[in-house]
Amino acid sequence: MKPFQIYNSLHRAVEEFVPLKPGIVTFYSCGPTVYLPQHLGNMRAYVFVDTLRRALRFNGYDVRHVMNITDVGHMTSDADAGEDKIEKTARAQGKSPREVADFYIAQFKRDCAALNIELPPDAPAGDHPKPPQSALCRATDNIDAMIAVIGRIVANGYGYVTPSGVYFDVEKWRGPGGIGRLARQSLSDQYASQRLEHSPDKKSPHDFALWVLNQPNHLMQWDSPWGRGYPGWHIECSAMSMKYLGETLDIHSGGLDHIPVHHENEIAQSESATGHPFARYFVHNAFLVGMEGAKISKSAGRFPVLDDLIAAGINPLAFRMLCLGAKYRSELAFSISAVEAMELKLDYLDEFCRNAQRSGATDFEDAAWTNAYLESFHEEINQDLNTPRALAIVLDMVGEAYRRGDLSVLNTLLRFDELLGLGLAERLNESLSEERASGLLQLENLQQERERARASRDFKRADELRVQINQQADRLGYELRDVPGGRSILTPKRRRS
């Protein structure tokens, strides 16, 4: 089997993935800024993160996954300018920043659950966890870790203190060439599309804030060695990833828009603090766009959210399937009709699962011909997470099962779904539970009618009912047995070998 390969943005090439420690993957993914609902473009990124984690686990790795929640320091400009996004919403809604963050964190978790996205557990109590460990961690719960990293940066000569804040000296870090390692852009190219705030006490307009000082109107403030203030956006990811996973990560993921500024800055501040590589593989997902090709974003105004699909009566997992139908590095056009088309395919898979279960094919091992599909599926997943091809293989296998009249492929299908995350097993179990409860009640009524027929010596009717009971019991995995005393009982069928 081909080893797992992924596109590494650092080298702009598909590379074989080799973790720093055999068998264990440290994986950090940029999480939500919780000031508004996460739109479907955001959720596409989290579906990708979940799929990548599942693919690594599919290949036998123990994945230690950390995701941050930004609840302070992310400014409306995505740099250092403007108003804190959380505080802007808090002022508009007449709430505290904590109330705003708590509300949108809860909504984010609900949306992830609806999309079958497995989040890391909430960060455990304690300031000094033993890495690597999985965690979903809030910025405001990790201020001490940020202050500690900033202190190392300043001590190593790459940070400087001014009345307005502690800044990172970008030009000193980059040196004479001035080219970013990830974006491969000069500073002038990197910031060409941005309006840079050049505070009088910054050495360069390219320098970014590690810690902001002397902002008395900012609602969230903490004490630090440099004065009372709050962290910059970029330092949060460096501090929390190192705290929970260690100083060198295997994989760091995020959106393509993170490459030129956020992830470049993370590399600079992390490596200036530690003196060794920050992340060995950077993996980035492309955007969800509207049918007209424009990126779906909060800044664009009205943006679609998962609740819109639910209100339209669409299974949220159809959106997950839509995401799987495109390469993670390619733009994906969103429309309701596209999601509805995927819902039909999802229903097709659900129906097959029910048919396979009812046919009794699950009493046997999966058909030998499914091995080739399993191998092809694994090959496509390991070739830079080619989910469109993997999904096509799944649908082709189901079609082949119908063509052959051999439905004994359910276990293989559910194995595929461990990676796809479409929830096939869960819905099958729900369907079977409902069907079984209804069916058993009907069987009980038929048994009682048969007992009455036998008591009245209407043996013809009793025999007819026995045939009917046996047929229905067989579908439910039971068989009817007569026992001494003129009674009959239902017992589970013996599994055939």
- Of 369, 396, 422, the residue at which a domain comes to its end is 422
pLDDT at 316 (0 to 100): 97
Task: Kindly provide the b/e burial profile for residues 390-414, where b requires at least 16 CB atoms within 10 angstroms of the residue's own CB.
Answer: bbebbeebbebbeeeebbbbbebbe
Q: Are residues 456 and 363 in the same domain?
A: no
Residue 296 falls within a domain, yes or no? Answer: no
Q: Are residues 365 and 468 in the same domain?
A: no
Other CB atoms closer than 10 Å to residue 180's CB: what's the count?
23
pLDDT at 497 (0 to 100): 34
- Of 269, 285, 301, the residue at which a domain comes to its end is 285
Residue 497 falls within a domain, yes or no? Answer: no
Round to whole Å and give the CA distance between 359 and 12.
Answer: 49
Angle at 174 between CA 172 and CA 177, to 5 degrees: 115
pTM for this entry: 0.86
Task: Kindly provide the b/e burial profile for residues 280-317, where b requires at least 16 CB atoms within 10 angstroms of the residue's own CB.
Answer: bbbbbbbbbbeeeeebbebeeeebbbbeebeeeebbbb
Helix, strand, coil percentages, rounded to 5, for the chain: 50, 15, 35
Low-confidence stretches of the chain (pLDDT < 70) are 73, 75-82, 127, 191-198, 291-294, 297-302, 431-441, 475-478, 480-497
Residue 427 falls within a domain, yes or no? Answer: no
The phi and psi torsions of 251 (rounded to 5 degrees) equal -135, 135
Round to whole Å and give the CA distance between 361 and 283.
Answer: 41
Contact 163, 214 (CB under 8 A): yes
Specify the DSSP element, H or E, that contains 421. Answer: none
- Which of the 8 DSSP states describes residue 495? P
Q: Are residues 196 and 335 in the same domain?
A: no
Residue 290 falls within a domain, yes or no? Answer: no
Residue 207 falls within a domain, yes or no? Answer: yes
pLDDT at 196 (0 to 100): 52
Q: Are residues 210 and 147 in the same domain?
A: yes
Between strands 229-231 and 13-16, the pairing is unpaired
Q: Are residues 89 and 222 in the same domain?
A: yes
Contacts for 122-130 with beta carbons within 8 Å, 24 or more apart? 123/244, 129/243, 129/244
Q: Are residues 360 and 474 in the same domain?
A: no
Residue 369 falls within a domain, yes or no? Answer: yes
User: Which residues fall within 8 angstroms of residue 223, CB to CB, at 6 or more apart?
Assistant: none
Q: Are residues 158 and 55 in the same domain?
A: yes
Q: Are residues 123 and 225 in the same domain?
A: yes
Round to whole Å and give the CA distance between 339 and 342.
Answer: 5
Q: Are residues 157 and 116 in the same domain?
A: yes
Domain that includes residue 441, residue range: 432-492
Round to whole Å and give the CA distance between 398 and 366.
Answer: 13
Contact 386, 4 (CB under 8 A): no
- Rounded to the nearest 10 degrees, the angle between the axes of helix 336-359 and helix 410-420 is 150
Residue 457 structure tokens: 């010596």
The phi and psi torsions of 216 (rounded to 5 degrees) equal -60, -20
Residue 262's nearest CA partner among 17, 47, 77, 48 is: 77
Domain count, the chain: 3
Round to whole Å and give the CA distance between 150 and 272.
Answer: 10
Q: Are residues 69 and 122 in the same domain?
A: yes
Residue 291 falls within a domain, yes or no? Answer: no
User: Which residues fall within 8 angstroms of residue 29, CB to CB, at 6 or more apart?
Assistant: 49, 65, 66, 67, 252, 253, 254
Q: Are residues 260 and 317 in the same domain?
A: no
Contact 224, 209 (CB under 8 A): no
pLDDT at 445 (0 to 100): 74
Residue 37 falls within a domain, yes or no? Answer: yes
pLDDT at 310 (0 to 100): 94
Domain harbouring 178, CATH code: 3.40.50.620
Q: Are residues 239 and 106 in the same domain?
A: yes
- Of 376, 399, 422, the residue at which a domain comes to its end is 422
User: Which residues fall within 8 angstroms of residue 340, CB to CB, at 6 or more apart?
Assistant: 314, 318
Q: Which residue has the tokens 């492309």?
A: 286
